[in-house]
Amino acid sequence: MAEQPLVSAEQPLVSIVTPCLNAGRFIERTVESVLGQDYPRIEYIIVDGGSTDETAAILAPYRDRLQYVSEPDLGVADAVNRGFAGSRGSIFAWLNADDIYFPGAVSAAVRCFVSDAEIAVVYGEGEWIDEQNRTLGLYPTVAPYDPAALERECRICQPTSFIRRDAFDMVGRLNPDLRSAFDYDLWIRLSAKYRFFALSNCLAASRMHRGSITLRQRKLVFEESIGILRRHYGYVPVSWIYAQLSFRRDGRDQYFEPLRRSVGVYAHSLVVGSCYNFRHLWRYWRDWISYAAKQKPTGPGALEKVFDRP
């Protein structure tokens, strides 16, 4: 799509919420990435859960260009819902306090919504960046959009996503009981009712660092994601079970510290997965065999060659 700013007599208001708590290390870069967008109608709301670091001081020079709310909350999902409740835009997004938008991200998303009233969610390509803003790699986005992909894993980079207000409201907003996998849960609920569209543009960067929820609360990420898969689909793929059991064994975050393969742990995933998927045993057993078979090499001793012994 074209890169020029959207020009329309009725430009929709876009509301962006940033939940934060002691985010002084990164929040100025986040704020600048929002306020530097070329789209002219952005309502920006920062919901601070009660920071005790330098966050408030960093935000002080920007107060005339954003709304700042500081009050206790029940976590990120609750903070986003609170920000949404105080917003007015017909298009909604949230950007975590350590993530950033790339130039033109909002305009690109709005164009999609304006061009097709049936689209409820727009998302794009995303990058992973480190604490020094260096690119670590591309997020493994699913494009074009395939709702069946959500049955296996979350392939939508949350900071690249924009949602119609009515759709977000209709599905009940974010689940405040979830502490880490609330975006995955939201995509699944939205996909059951609404149309998604994947942009080829790289819209945002997700910051990977050891203080992020994704890596700091790895145990919780596995528990919530597996719970979501069981609740929505009644089935947990072998990849999730194997990864969870591997984390329990060695505590590796499986991003900066890659998963260490083990034939023993993989064998254990057959037992655990059968318990999780007792209503779909044949399916799980086929998937378990197929997962190993897709790894190379094949032939005698293949499993030992693919999965290092513990």
Encode the chain (310 residues) as per-residue pLDDT tens digits. Answer: 344 444 454 799 999 999 999 999 999 999 999 999 999 999 999 999 999 999 999 999 999 999 999 999 999 999 999 999 999 999 999 999 999 999 999 999 999 999 999 999 999 999 999 999 999 999 999 999 999 999 999 999 999 999 999 999 999 999 999 999 999 999 999 999 999 999 999 999 999 987 787 888 899 999 999 999 999 999 999 999 999 999 999 999 888 898 888 999 999 999 999 999 999 999 999 999 999 887 654 433 434 333 443 3
- What distance in Å separates the CA atoms of residue 240 and residue 189, rounded to the nearest whole number? 20
- What distance in Å separates the CA atoms of residue 200 and residue 219, rounded to the nearest whole number? 32
C-alpha triplet 209, 222, 276: angle, nearest 5°: 165
Q: What are phi and psi of 48, to 5 degrees?
A: -100, 125
The confidence score (pLDDT) of residue 226 equals 97
The confidence score (pLDDT) of residue 303 equals 40
Burial of 205: CB neighbours in 10 Å, binned 0-12, 13-18, 19+: buried
The confidence score (pLDDT) of residue 213 equals 78
The confidence score (pLDDT) of residue 128 equals 96
- What distance in Å separates the CA atoms of residue 64 and residue 71, rounded to the nearest whole number? 19
- In 3D space, the residue among 6, 39, 8, 25 whose CA is nearest the CA of residue 16 turns out to be 39
| Token pair in block for residue 141 | 């986005």
Q: Are the CB atoms for 21 and 52 separated by under 8 Å? A: no
Q: What are phi and psi of 203, to 5 degrees?
A: -95, -25
Q: What is the CA radius of gyration of the chain?
A: 21
What ranges do the domains of the chain cover? 14-207, 235-306
Q: Are the CB atoms for 164 and 91 separated by under 8 Å? A: yes
The confidence score (pLDDT) of residue 8 equals 53
- In 3D space, the residue among 168, 174, 163 whose CA is nearest the CA of residue 47 turns out to be 174
Tell me the fold of 14-207. Spore Coat Polysaccharide Biosynthesis Protein SpsA; Chain A (3.90.550)
The confidence score (pLDDT) of residue 292 equals 86
The confidence score (pLDDT) of residue 301 equals 40
Helical packing angle, 263-276 and 238-250, nearest 10°: 130
| Token pair in block for residue 107 | 């305009």
